[in-house]
Amino acid sequence: MNPEVDHDKQIVVREPPPFLTKVVYASYMYGLKSILNSVLWLREWQESRDPPAGHPDIVKSYECRPNLPVRIFLPASYDQTSQATLPTLFTIHGGGFCIGHQRDDDEWNRAFANTQSALVISLNYSKAPAYPFPTAVHDLEALLLAALADTSLPIDRTDSPTSRTAILGFSAGANLALSVSQLPSIHNHPLTPAAAITIYGSLDVSYPSTEKLRNRPWKAALAPPRGSPTDLLVSLAAAFDWSYIPYGQALHDPLLSPHHAPRSALPPYVCCVAAELDMLAHESWRVACRLSREGGGVGRGRRVVPDRGSEEPCWRVCGNWANMVTTRRGELIGLVPGREDERFAFEETWRGGGVKWLLVPDVLHGFDNPHIRAILGGAEAMRDGEMKTRAYMAEVGRWLKEVVWKL
């Protein structure tokens, strides 16, 4: 077993592409945003007349970013006339830093608030290419500080060794969750998130997206698109990167690629959840293994950090490198008693911190979003994704309550 080979010794910066490539990227991105904005407007118009069950309890704007409202979800069991406080999860939506909307995660946020009895606050940020890195990071910083200072919100402000707050992001939002957590104003705040949770995160932009395809298993036994020998993200990634990352930007900057952030700069507890059939999964695996290796648990100095360029499939490919399909719908392999598998799950704690890794088998990027599930597979894949969403949400909730917040 060989530790990860350092592929990143040389400082890499974002280089400008040829002029015609810039034109292609700009046309593609602004065209895509125009189409999606029309769809979003129609959805907002429809839901303003018939609010869905997962709608937030409060939509609120702060003076620091009046054009970026936050969406607030209270547990269904919570008495809004009481003075009771709640553990709080801040969430950040994905979309390649360029598209997406908070509304996309309403169903997830509502379900987590109700099932885990937590306050969920969905944060917002400005999108590229109009607002490239690091604008989104500082938008989130401002909104997070404003929400933490808002005494009208029932955030648990109990004086304890770790705060009862956490931050979670999906895809690009996972990147931003780890990035904003590193800023001194957040990292040193009395209510700084005790944990960061990344869900199929884009955590390392220091190497081309095309190289990430070789780290993803292919399972022809599954029906398309899960069994297709491609990844939908690869066709979007180059345009997203062009939009978000300024020319001359160092790609190893830990605010841009939090994979390279030192352990001490991150929240005490970190949980990485990934989708097995996702070209981004390997970087989440590497982050979890590195934090284990650098932490104070049983993996300290011993955990192997997988080499993304290894010639050995067991280290190069995240998940089931032999391309075997799980046999039980809705099952999380690494959590089945008697069948534990550290490629799919491990959890370590030490004094004042810990790390958790969870790989959800046989699912694509975005499997936990009902809007994405509806267009990425048939009834069987949708049902499997729905069941696994409930399962991983419950596991993350257990970890937060029992390990991080110690409720």
Q: DSSP assignment of 207-227, as one string?
A: S-HHHHGGGS---TTSPTTTT
Q: What is the mean pLDDT of the chain?
A: 93
On whether residue 3 sits in a domain, the answer given is no
pLDDT, position 3: 44
9 located within any domain: no
Poorest-pLDDT segment among 4-8, 184-188, 296-300, 371-375: 4-8
| Residue-wise pLDDT tens digits, 276-329 | 999 999 999 999 999 999 999 999 999 999 999 999 999 999 999 888 887 777
43 domain residue, yes or no:
yes
How far is Cα 111 from Cα 102, in angstroms, rounded to an integer?
A: 15
Within-domain flag for 41: yes
Closest residue by Cα to residue 65 from 130, 125, 148, 121: 125
Compute CA distances 93 → 101, 174, 202, whole Å: 7, 8, 12
Q: What is the DSSP string of 341-378?
A: -TTTEEEEEETTEEEEEEEEEEEETTTT-HHHHTTSS-
Going by C-alpha positions, the residue among 154, 185, 113 that lies closest to residue 393 is: 113
pLDDT tens by residue, 234-260:
989 999 999 999 999 999 999 999 999
Tell me, what's the pLDDT at 51? 83
Q: What is the dihedral of CA 185, 190, 191, 195, to 10 degrees?
A: 80
Residue 5 has pLDDT above 50, yes or no: no
* Structural domain boundaries enclosing 112: 19-404
Q: What is the CATH number of the domain that holds 308?
A: 3.40.50.1820
Quick: pLDDT tens for 66-81: 999 999 999 999 998 9
Residue 7 placed within a domain: no
pLDDT band at 17 (very low <50, low <70, confident <90, very high): very high
The answer as to whether 270 is a domain residue is: yes
Domains identified in the chain, total number: 1
Residue 2 resides in a domain: no
Tell whether 4 is covered by a domain.
Answer: no
